[in-house]
Amino acid sequence: MKTRISPKITAQPTRGLVDEKIYIRVSNLIPNEKITLRCLLLSEDNDFWHAYGLYISDDKGVVNVAEDVCLGGSYTGTEPNGLIWSLKPVPGSRPALRLRKHNVFTPFLLNISVHKGHINGDFKDASSLALTVIERWYISPGVSRVEISENYIHGTLFLPPGPGPFPGILDLWGGGGGLVEYRAALLASHGYASLALEYMSTQNTSINVNNIGIEYFEAAIHFLKSHPRVSSEQVGIFGLSFGTSVALNIAAKGNRISPRCLVCISGSHAVKINGTIGDVFTNLKEEGGKIMVDENNHFIWKELILPRLADPSKKVKVGNIKCPLLLIAGNDDQNWPTVDSARDMENMMKAAGNEHLLTTLIYPKTGHLIEPPYSPHTRFSNFISAFNQEKGHRSICKNGS
């Protein structure tokens, strides 16, 4: 009787950045054999995430994930990184989880295994035919991390290796607050000096939204422009959610520290910052806009800001923007009226004669959280509302349908 050669799995690169494509190949299979590929990850919050795909080997007993069609599982079709972007908490996990990296100096460890037959989600008793482990990083070798706490600025600066000068990016996250570093680390890995700025926090007592106005962000830009390893004429702003509103406010103000360009994701121009960040949230709360709740008790906030689009006094004058603006939105955003805002901004900039500076990308079937390439999708997640920072009020926020 002929002894079967053990299946072999290879995944390249074994150590790479999270936004790189992965090439997975399984060999030594029986021709036309059904197999299941599974990816298993333990998050820094101690939760297991997994994804799986169903494949059939070719007449040479090989499955090549980059070229072969996945027939079912967590995803379908030809998806080289499907085992990553389709990761979800394993059944029985805590609700409303979001996969985020806290320590960028450690990788995500992805355990990729091969299983006999087509398995539909239950891996409790499934033994693997082959296994490999790969590392996915947000930071590349040589990138340095510098904690910044000067001139009232709080954040982390990531610098690419070498003397520079490098183009700079002010990295602004949204209303969830805290110091989020992984995107800035990834940007630095691609050659940008990136400052992850903390401006809302439920833990850092030196950060108070009632004391932070647009001057705080201008000071951060000035810090970047003055850094010896940053090109002073090439400093842009990358904003997500509320960070987009901050970026638009800065650019429309048009002073001597105007950004070179803007990348704005899942935000709106209908949030004008005239005083402090705390004033903005207070005004939104006092206006009494609708906060809806779906059948699962998940909050839908897009109606909170939507009425402001009809009031010119509530909107940033985007017609004053003098730098290139990349606007990205998902047409299933349940948090902010991003598509309505994008269309209104297009009209405002067209009327002002600066529409040539605007590039708009609207992705179908996409929610609020648009993260770095190949990040797992998140339909809903825990969120500490900025309206109730003192109490640390936590709600489950719906990102997309």
| Confidence band of 386 (pLDDT split at 50, 70, 90) | very low
Q: Is the pLDDT of residue 395 over 60?
A: no
**CA distance to 238, 367, 368, 383, per residue, from 397 (Å):** 23, 11, 10, 6
82-139 pLDDT per residue, tens: 999 999 999 999 988 999 999 999 999 999 999 999 999 899 989 999 999 999 999 9
Tell the residue number behind the tokens 């909170």, with chain if given.
304
- Asked if 178 and 198 count as a contact pair (C-beta separation under 8 A), the reply is yes
Which residues are known catalytic residues?
241, 333, 368
Distance (Å, whole) CA 332 – CA 366: 5
Looking at the chain, the whole-number percentage of residues with pLDDT higher than 70 is: 94
Dist CA 171 CA 155 (whole Å): 10
DSSP string, 42-82: E-TTS-EEEEEEEEE--TTS-EETTTSPB-SBS--BS-TTH
Residue range 192-231, pLDDT digits in tens: 999 999 999 867 777 889 999 999 999 999 999 999 999 9
Sign (positive or negative) of CA dihedral 273, 279, 280, 284: negative
- Residue 279 burial (C-beta neighbours within 10 Å; 0-12, 13-18, 19+): middle
The predicted pLDDT at position 175 comes to 85
DSSP-assigned states of every residue in 291-335: -EE-TTS-EE-HHHHGGGGG-GGGS--GGG--S-EEEEEETT-SS
